[in-house]
Amino acid sequence: MVVSSQVATTSPTPAYICPFDRTCSYLNQAAAELGMDPNILVILEHPRKVVTVSIPVKLDNGKVQILAGHRVQHCDVLGPYKGGTRYHPTVNLGELSALAMLMTWKCALLGIPYGGAKGGIAIDPAQYSVGELERLTRRYTSELIKDIGPAIDIPAPDIGTSSREMAWMMDTYSMNMGHAVLGVVTGKPLSIGGSKGRDMATGRGVMITVREALLEKGQTLEGVTIAIQGFGKVGGAAAQLLHEAGAKIIAVSDAFGGVFDANGLDIPALQSHVNNQKTVVGFPGSDSISNAELLTLPCDVLIPAALEDQITEDNADRIQAKLVAEAANAPITLIADQILETRGITVLPDILANAGGVVVSYLEWVQGQSFLFWDEKRVNREMEKLLRNAYHRVSQHSQQRSVSLRLAAYTLGVGRVSQAMKDRGLYP
Ligand SMILES: NC(=O)C1=CN([C@@H]2O[C@H](COP(=O)(O)OP(=O)(O)OC[C@H]3O[C@@H](n4cnc5c(N)ncnc54)[C@H](OP(=O)(O)O)[C@@H]3O)[C@@H](O)[C@H]2O)C=CC1
Ligand SMILES: O=C(O)CCC(=O)C(=O)O
C-alpha cells in the first residue's frame, strides 16, 4: 500500500499489520462479499488527497518551532470530507490515512452525507501552554484554508483536542472568509453554533450499541460489569451514561494507569477526582491497576476508548469479556480480531460503536447551515434513531451472511460508497 510504505510504523511483532493495511484488509473482505468492481476497489484503497503543512509556532520562550500538520482526505463521493483533528505524539500519515478511511465507511454505514478525513499534529498538547496551542491551531487552520470548509472538509475534535480548538479553527476560518462560518467545524462550543448533546454523543452511541447488543442476547445493562480503557471525552461519557443506565463500571484507566473496584466505581465521584487531579489514578477506595491488566479483567463488556492497537495477539487469548465495544478507532489488531472471533467474543466494530459522535456532528452542521437550533432531547432522539437503525442492519446482515459484525458493517458501508461511485460514473 502506498501510504503505509511511505510511513515507518514500529512493529511490536513481525506479524504486526499497521492500521492502514488492516483497514484495507477489511475493505478487501467487504469487496469480496460485494463482488466489487476492482476498479472501484483500487480507488478506495487510496486516500484522495494527503496534505502536509509546515506550522511555524512562536513558543512562549521566544523561539520558533516548526511543526508538521496533516490532513488526509480519503473519499468525498457521498459529500464533504468529515473527521476529527488529533493532537498526540504518535500522529503520522499512515495512522491518519487509516482513520480517514474508517470515517468514510462510518459515515456511509450511518447514512450521513459525508466522506472520510482525519487530521492532526504530532505533539503532546500537555507540553504546550494555552497560548502556544492557540497559535499553532490557528496557523494549522490558516495553512489548510483552501482544503477545509462547510462543503469541502469539516474537522471535529479527536484525541487531544476539544471544543476549544474547534472554536479557534472556526474563528480563524471565519476571519479569512470575512463572516462567521458555522459549518466549517463541528464539536464547537454552544455559544458559536455547537450542538446540544455533542459532548456526550460518542459515549452515548457506545452506550446505545452496547445496550442493543445485550438486548439481542436477552440481557439489559442492569448489573452488567464493564471495564473501560480511556477516560477522556469518549470513555468518560460512556462511563457516565452506562453507570446511569445501571451497569457496574468496575475499572477505568487513562495514560497514567487505572483504578479498579469489583463493586463498581462511583463514576460521578471519580469524575470530580479527575477534574481536580487530572488522572483517575489515586481515586479513594479503589485499587490500582495497569492498562494491560484492565484489558484482561473478568467482566461482561470491555470498552477500549483510548488509542489504536490495544488488543493484540499478545493479550487476545486472555480477554475475558464476552463483548468488546470499540469506542476507540482501530483498538484491535488484525490477528487479535481473528483470535477474538475464533473464541466467540463479539466485537462491536468502531465504525458502528463510536459513530454517535459523527452523527451528532452531522446534526450540528445541519443546525448551523439552517441557523435553527434544536433542544437536546431532539438531538439525542435523532442520533439514537440513526444508531439503532444502523446496529440492527449490521446485526441482521451478520446473521444472514454468517459473518462478523465488523465484516457486516464494512460491507454495508463500503457497498453504499461503491454504489454511489457507480451512479456518479465511477468517480474520477
Ligand atoms: N471525540 C470523539 O467524538 C470521537 C473519538 N473517537 C475515538 O475515541 C478515542 C478516544 O478519543 P477521545 O476520548 O476524543 O480522546 P481524549 O483525548 O479526550 O481521551 C483519550 C483518553 O485516552 C487516554 N490515553 C491516552 N494514552 C493512553 C494509553 N497509552 N493508555 C491508556 N489510556 C490512554 C487519555 O488519558 P490522559 O487523559 O491521561 O492522556 C484519555 O483518557 C480515539 O480513538 C478517537 O479516535 C471516535 C469517535 C468520535
Ligand atoms: O465528529 C466528527 O466529525 C468526527 C469524529 C471522529 O473523528 C470519529 O468518528 O473518529
Nearest CA to ligand 1 atom 26: 255
Distance 177 CA to ligand 1 centre (A): 32
248-303 residue pLDDT tens: 999 999 999 999 999 999 999 999 999 999 999 999 999 999 999 999 999 999 99
C-alpha cell at position 39: 476498479
Nearest CA to ligand 1 atom 47: 354
Q: Which of 75, 92, 87 is nearest to 153 (CA)?
A: 75
Asked if residue 14 has pLDDT above 70, the reply is: no
Dihedral over Cα of 289, 294, 297, 302: its sign: positive
Sequence-distant contacts of 390-393: CB under 8 A, at least 24 apart: 390/109, 390/110, 390/111, 390/352, 390/355, 391/208, 391/209, 391/212, 391/213, 391/352, 392/212
Q: Is 144 helix (H, G, I), strand (E, B) or coil?
A: coil
Closest ligand 2 atom to residue 202 Cα is: 9
Confidence tier at 428 by pLDDT (50, 70, 90): low
Q: φ and ψ at 248, to 5 degrees?
A: -105, 110
Q: Which of 48, 121, 44, 43 is nearest to 81 (CA)?
A: 48
In angstroms, the CA 305 to CA 292 distance is 14
Q: Is 202 annotated as a binding residue?
A: yes
The whole-number pLDDT of residue 426 equals 78
Measured from the alpha carbon of residue 195, the closest ligand is 2
The arrangement of strands across the sheet holding 257-260 comes to 287-289, 257-260, 248-254, 225-229, 301-304, 323-325, 346-348
Mean pLDDT of the chain: 95
Nearest CA to ligand 2 atom 2: 358
82 touches 38 (CB < 8 A): no
Asked if residue 13 has pLDDT above 60, the reply is: no
Measured from the alpha carbon of residue 254, the closest ligand is 1
Fold held by 2-182: Rossmann fold (3.40.50)
CATH class of residue range 199-348: alpha beta
Which residues form the pocket of ligand 2, taking CB atoms under 6 Å from any ligand atom?
82-84, 103, 106, 156, 158, 186-187, 329, 354, 357-358, 361
174-215 residue pLDDT tens: 999 999 999 999 999 999 999 999 999 999 999 999 999 999
CATH 3.40.50.10860 location in the chain: 2-182
Confidence tier at 416 by pLDDT (50, 70, 90): very high
Nearest CA to ligand 1 atom 10: 306
Stated pTM of the model: 0.96
| Stretch 27-36: mean pLDDT | 97
Three-state DSSP string of 55-104 = EEEECCCCCEEEEEEEEEEEECCCCCEEEEEEECCCCCHHHHHHHHHHHH
Q: Which of 51, 97, 105, 106 is nearest to 74 (CA)?
A: 97
| Stretch 331-358: mean pLDDT | 98
Mutate to test the pocket of ligand 1, among 102, 123, 159 (most ligand atoms within 8 A of CB): 159
Spacing of C-alpha 3 from chain mean position: 20
- Helices 198-216 and 356-370: crossing angle, nearest 10°? 140
In angstroms, the CA 30 to CA 19 distance is 16
Q: Is 49 annotated as a binding residue?
A: no
Mutate to test the pocket of ligand 1, among 88, 234, 270, 383 (most ligand atoms within 8 A of CB): 234
Confidence tier at 4 by pLDDT (50, 70, 90): very low
Q: Is 82 annotated as a binding residue?
A: yes
Residue 264: which H helix or E strand, with range?
none
CATH 3.40.50.720 location in the chain: 199-348
Percent of the chain scored above 70 by pLDDT?
A: 96
Phi-psi region of 140 (alpha: psi -120 to 50; beta: other; left: phi over 0): alpha
Distance 159 CA to ligand 1 centre (A): 5
Distance 358 CA to ligand 2 centre (A): 5
| Stretch 343-368: mean pLDDT | 98
Q: Is 361 annotated as a binding residue?
A: yes
| Stretch 93-97: mean pLDDT | 97
Distance 356 CA to ligand 2 centre (A): 9
| Stretch 93-121: mean pLDDT | 98
Active-site amino acid positions:
118
Nearby residues of 271 by Cβ (< 8 Å), 6 or more positions away: 236, 240
Distance 227 CA to ligand 1 centre (A): 15
Measured from the alpha carbon of residue 155, the closest ligand is 2
Which value does ipTM take for this structure? Answer: 0.99
| Stretch 331-351: mean pLDDT | 97
In angstroms, the CA 83 to CA 97 distance is 11
Nearest CA to ligand 1 atom 27: 255
Confidence tier at 402 by pLDDT (50, 70, 90): very high
Distance 157 CA to ligand 2 centre (A): 7
Asked if residue 326 has pLDDT above 50, the reply is: yes
Which residues form the pocket of ligand 1, taking CB atoms under 6 Å from any ligand atom?
84, 157-160, 202, 229-235, 253-256, 279, 291, 305-307, 327-329, 354, 357
